[in-house]
Amino acid sequence: MRPFRFRFLLNIAFWSSLCWLTACATINYDPQADQQITALTQQINLQYLSWGSQARSNGPVAYDAKFYDAVEASLATLEMRMTASQDASSAKLTQLFQNLMQQLENERKFHQEHALDAAYCHAERLLINTQLAVLTTYELSLKNSAASKAK
């Protein structure tokens, strides 16, 4: 399994990105992107929770290409939507999406080679949630900014 240090450094990188992105937030809130982030987070949580339950009941979980393909497609669609605007904050999102796609690819390769146990499913779900929290917080900051401008 991946070392704890890698996950720790990845978390620091994402939270640093969050701080930087929210400081640059100058684009308008996009409710569609907000919904897509929520749907993607729910999809990932549901799958990892299901795999965790399955692993506790029946042993390690085998690779599922359909899940990874669906998440990759959702991330690509979300990236196109959120980076379509040509401003400073959306330019920073490109790196965040590249990191998420790399994490997904690393997870896919790991899962192809190893069946996942319940503890790993739990840890990976938390790691991906941390990464997606950056996008959620970014959209919420835009939403709050738009609401305060409307007053």
Residue 10 lies in a domain: no
Q: In angstroms, rounded to a whole number, what is the distance separating the alpha carbons of residues 131 and 137?
A: 10
* The two three-digit tokens of residue 63, written as one number: 């690779």
Residue 90 lies in a domain: yes
Question: Which range marks the domain in which residue 111 is found?
Answer: 30-144
Residue 3 lies in a domain: no
Residue 20 lies in a domain: no
Question: What are the tens digits of pLDDT across the range 41-50?
Answer: 999 999 999 9
Question: What are the tens digits of pLDDT across the range 90-135?
Answer: 778 888 899 999 999 999 999 999 999 999 999 999 999 998 999 9
Taking the whole predicted model, whether its pTM rises above 0.85 is answered as: no
Closest CA relative to residue 27, chosen from 125, 139, 150, 148: 139
Closest CA relative to residue 104, chosen from 61, 62, 137, 73: 73
How many domains does the chain contain in total? 1
